[in-house]
Structure 1
């Protein structure tokens, strides 16, 4: 029986190359290379000069060496939150910590074995129990009302005069759209360390194309994602919002001071999570209008003119556009 199995197995191996040779390979169809994920769209042709790239201030809008305080805030909500942290929360936390520490030392000394050969058998004290119940409740009430007020102000919808910007998270870069200004797009990638150093910007935080906002104008930030969950986070604005695929979250802020402000994705999103920074350049309304025009956009509320001339992205168009078959040749009629 084993001999028969061996003969059958040998015949199968002998016929296998012939079977493979009898199946000719099918010529593959034309392969279209996909467009790079972080490739920026071609810049519209514009006769308006772009604004200057503002140099960052090393003391604001970015981390500082040996810094332990909250970054200096440049939005009304951020300033209010820092006041609450410094003037309300920290004093309460400090007093409670010192009181508990002093109480521990006092109890350790007062009720030590040497000073109390006969252990105390006190079971309760009504006055102390009322105090340690009432005081924490009062402390919580002091904290809760400013906290709720701050949260309500932080998530209060902005008015119709706000500028809408859409931030889209991708692995691992950000894309920004300006729907109020013609819907043009800005793709923002992290700069290499050498280029960031040459520009005088911090490493791992500088980008090639900054998101530009006007000073003094409320910003409605719509945040979403194309792949996984990201988070748009700029500490100097006191703003963080998750970017969730299939969902649009909204945040708002008003920058009160021109400058450059850095942030990062604040939600672990893959291997290069630490390499998708955020750079916001806040400029005057006049400079913002110039920047919009230089990128082929239109001022908010203005009627769009002729469409901006944008060089086509051949790879992306080839991958997205369906192939239309050529019409069949007409039959030849013999006379």
Structure 2
């Protein structure tokens, strides 16, 4: 009579194992890749070669470390349900873009580390729900511009690092709402000091020298030869138009086109991304990565194997019952 008992035990073990695999357990104790500490609510997924966010991160996690991985993109819902997070570390990855709303549920976040990635821009309103944030690290990326008002809701922010990027300007009033800022890093950016836009940054640095770490090091151009705070109105006299900030066409182009024959008008290339927007095409928030696809395939194979083993176990039980 031990046969049916063994078969029943086999059923329970197989069911438990399959459910664990299907849920994609995060913590090592459940067969996942991350180290979880129930006492400190810390989940450490550092240096795992991850190309996708692990599933089933405990909802009570306080500190989530995803640094030193290979994340190149994030799904918009990556951190939904993690509203107890106070620290999120994404530094030293390969992030090129961030989907709008990806941080919206992290209303208790105190520190956000996005440094040492490949970000070229930020979506408008990306930090709007992070009212408790005190430290934001965006240094050592490839940021070329900042959306207007991107820091306006960060009234608790004390440390902001924008150094080592490709910024030429900041929008008018970019730092005006940072009432509690104590440490702002701006150096090693190719600030464009020939345009009037730079005068806002010059004046803000002059008025807040005690809050700008290395204020003298925020310098103009690629050569970093002159400090932004030393620029005069005469030097910053141009009305510059930057890409993706206005739809206005420079008057010099209009004049040239108006005075030219049709045969002389050069063909102006249309950026692919603008053409796609004109057609109403929108890039999906997140395309599945290779590991995710493999996980899906393995999940289906695991499901099939589960049913095969279940069927075998049932036949095994029936066989012994018939003998009995």
TM-score where L is the length of structure 2: 0.20
Higher relative contact order (CA 8 A, sep 6+): 1
TM-score where L is the length of structure 1: 0.19
Q: Larger % of strand: which? A: 1
Q: Larger % of helix: which? A: 1
